[in-house]
């Protein structure tokens, strides 16, 4: 079976230029630079292998003017990514250079998503942070990527309003 030259070249270009978003342990090489309103999205062609799960590690630098209080990661790609997910517990909990890390995993939505929170140790403009999350690939996909983006630390006034709203709802 012959493949068109264009398809072969496109596949090689994706492999050569893409970042390592592998289901077995992988690292996205280099330093990702983001600011509020920007996202990193780079689907990657790769050869995966058993056990079809592993750590995804990366470093990111805040090049914006606002501090980040949380960071979001979800799967992306052109194929059926509905089987991809994130694992936690028993040595699989996410980790970060930021202290006080907490997280929420949503494997029910497609694409699966993990939200990482570190409001007590925000990433200030010009600072870098590193993260590691454990991915699961039971569908044994060979082509998928990740999309990542930060959100700012809420301003104190917004936190006060949220707190007052919560008290009001509790009272009702």
CA triple 27-92-117, angle to 5 deg:
80
Count of structural domains, the chain: 1
Task: Give 154's contacts (C-beta < 8 A, 6+ positions apart).
Answer: 69, 119, 162
**Nearest in space to 60 (alpha carbons), one of 119, 1, 129, 6:** 129
Whether the per-residue pLDDT at 28 is higher than 50: the answer is: yes
Which is higher by pLDDT, 46 or 152? 152
Q: Which of 7-16, 31-40, 140-149 has the lowest mean pLDDT?
A: 7-16
Domain range enclosing 160: 5-171
Write the pLDDT tens digit of every residue in 82-114. 999 999 998 999 999 999 999 999 999 999 999
Q: Which of 10-19, 58-67, 76-85, 121-130 has the lowest mean pLDDT?
A: 10-19
Distance, in Å, from the CA atom of 25 to the CA atom of 119, rounded to the nearest integer, reads: 28
Distance, in Å, from the CA atom of 33 to the CA atom of 64, rounded to the nearest integer, reads: 9
Secondary structure class of 110 (helix, strand, coil)? coil
Residue 137, token pair as written in the block: 């690939």
Which is higher by pLDDT, 139 or 28? 139
What pLDDT shows up at residue 4? 38
Buried b (16+ CB within 10 A) or exposed e, 108-140: eeebbbbebbbeeebbeeeeebebebbbbbeee
Distance, in Å, from the CA atom of 116 to the CA atom of 94, rounded to the nearest integer, reads: 8
Whether the Cβ atoms of residue 56 and residue 111 lie closer than 8 Å to each other: no
Q: Which of 33-37, 60-64, 96-100, 150-154 has the lowest mean pLDDT?
A: 33-37
Decide the pairing of beta strands 53-62 and 26-34: parallel
């Amino acid at each position: 079976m012959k493949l068109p030259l264009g398809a072969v070249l496109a596949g090689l270009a994706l492999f050569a230029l893409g970042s390592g978003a592998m289901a077995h342990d992988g690292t996205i090489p280099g330093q990702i630079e983001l600011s509020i309103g920007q996202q990193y999205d780079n689907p990657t062609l790769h050869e995966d292998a058993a056990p079809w799960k592993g750590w995804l590690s990366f470093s990111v630098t805040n090049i914006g003017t606002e501090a980040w209080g949380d960071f979001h990661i979800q799967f992306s790609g052109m194929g059926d990514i509905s089987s991809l997910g994130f694992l936690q517990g028993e040595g699989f909990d996410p980790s970060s250079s930021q202290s006080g890390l907490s997280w929420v995993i949503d494997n029910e939505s497609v694409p699966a998503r993990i939200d990482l929170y570190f409001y007590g140790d925000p990433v200030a403009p010009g600072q870098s942070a590193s993260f590691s999350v454990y991915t699961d690939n039971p569908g044994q996909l060979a082509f998928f990527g990740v999309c990542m983006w930060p959100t700012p630390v809420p301003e104190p006034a917004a936190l006060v309003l949220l707190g007052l709203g919560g008290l009001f709802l509790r009272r009702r």
